[in-house]
Amino acid sequence: MSNHAEVSILIPAYNCESFIGEALESMLNQSFPGFELIILNDGSTDNTENEILKFKDQRINYIRFEENKGYVHALNYGLTINKSPFICRMDSDDKCVQDRLLKQVNVFKSNPQTGICGSSAYLMKGDDSDKLITWQQPENHIDILIKSFTENPIIHPSVMFRKEVVDEIGFYNPTLMPAEDLDYWLRASFRFKLYNVPEPLIYYRVHDKQISVTKRAIQDESAKRTRLDYLVKILNCKTDTANIIYEKLNTGRKLSLSEKLMTNSIIIKSSLPFKIKKYLITGH
């Protein structure tokens, strides 16, 4: 492992023996040379560890937790030991294109205000990578924020961010798992620009055991809490008012005339960019 790595890649791993080898191979074959790979085995009980130990590479920093505490705990631990200026996220069941690190590092070097950089992704189902669908993400900061009101606008395993982001806003909030990533992007957006590379830089695997499937109801509730808190902050309004706007955008609820007048007045008086105001008022 290099003591002077420019990028630290954080991969939490839990019972992922079927896919972890492909994930690690895609990272170790990156065209960008200056990285370390921090693998955080979160108490796996299958053959995950043996699959990891097959890789003999000095860039690997392998850490094993005796018990499973959840990937957010593992990620936060990885953030505490990171010493690199750039931190890359990766999931143990996904893969990266060969130039991923190079392209994201170049984004940061060309855009000093950008703190978080994700990308679009190729969707692959299970072991089948022949029929790929592109999961396109909004590119610029304002469009990313607009999407955040109804969906997660940045794919977590596609993310790279500056160490300054961690220094400024701290760690992931484990009480919001599995929507801790949406919360992180929105917290960061008050101090840094968000950006998505428009081309796919990862292969995102869709399967029945991933968190977004097994804990969908919990994720939806945590995301709602995150969005309501964000609306309260950016509009300087009460939670009840934020909830009216949230329901309009996410459930299509028709507002009464008094609700429209009240919410529109608050939105118009805010200091938000015009494009975001328009979206909050019209829904498009």
**Band (73; pLDDT cuts 50, 70, 90):** very high
**Band (216; pLDDT cuts 50, 70, 90):** confident
Which pLDDT belongs to residue 185? 98
- 43 vs 208: which has the higher pLDDT: 43
- Cα–Cα distance, 274 to 6 (Å, whole number): 38
How far, CA to CA in Å, does 25 sit from each of 68, 96, 168? 24, 9, 32
Nearest CA among 105, 137, 144 for reference residue 121: 137
CATH class, range 7-217: alpha beta
SS3 category, 15: coil
- 209 vs 92: which has the higher pLDDT: 92
Nearest CA among 51, 46, 50 for reference residue 68: 46
Burial class (CB in 10 A: 0-12, 13-18, 19+), 94: buried
Say how many CA atoms lie within 13 Å of 148 toward its Cβ.
29
Is the pLDDT at 207 greater than 80, yes or no? no
Instruction: Among 1-15, 131-145, 175-189, 208-222, name the one with the lowest average pLDDT.
Output: 208-222
Parallel, antiparallel, or unpaired for β 193-206 and 95-96? Answer: antiparallel
Which pLDDT belongs to residue 132? 83
- 128 vs 45: which has the higher pLDDT: 45
- Cα–Cα distance, 160 to 31 (Å, whole number): 16
Which pLDDT belongs to residue 210? 60
Is the pLDDT at 109 greater than 70, yes or no? yes
Beta bridge partners of 205: 124
Mean per-residue pLDDT, 200-226: 84
Which pLDDT belongs to residue 12? 98
Which pLDDT belongs to residue 2? 45
Domain ranges of the chain: 7-217, 236-282
Mean per-residue pLDDT, 242-267: 97
Mean per-residue pLDDT, 219-237: 97
For residue range 113-151, what is the model confidence (pLDDT) as tens digits? 999 999 999 999 866 666 689 999 999 999 999 999 999
**Band (100; pLDDT cuts 50, 70, 90):** very high
